[in-house]
Amino acid sequence: MSLIDIKRKIILLLVTAGPAGYFPVAPGTCGTLIAVPFSLALNRLATFSIALALVALVGFISGAIWLSGKGAAILEQKDPSVIVIDEIAGFLLANFLAPFGKVSLSLAFVLFRFFDIAKIYPASRIEKLPGGKGIVLDDVVAGLYCFSILQLLNCWELI
The single-letter code of the amino acid at 129 is L
pLDDT digits (tens, 9 = 90+) for 65-88: 999 999 999 999 999 999 999 999
pLDDT digits (tens, 9 = 90+) for 94-132: 999 998 889 999 999 999 999 999 999 999 999 999 999
Report yes or no: 141 and 126 within 8 Å, Cβ to Cβ. yes
Distance CA 20, CA 85 (A): 10
pLDDT for res 99 = 87
Model-level pTM? Answer: 0.94
- Report the C-alpha dihedral over residues 146, 26, 40, 157, rounded to 10 degrees: 30
pLDDT for res 158 = 85
pLDDT for res 6 = 93
Query: For all residues of the chain together, what is the average pLDDT?
Result: 95
pLDDT for res 4 = 85
For the chain, the structural domain boundaries read 3-155
Distances from the Cα of 157 to the Cα of 39, 144, 149, 151, angstroms: 21, 20, 12, 10
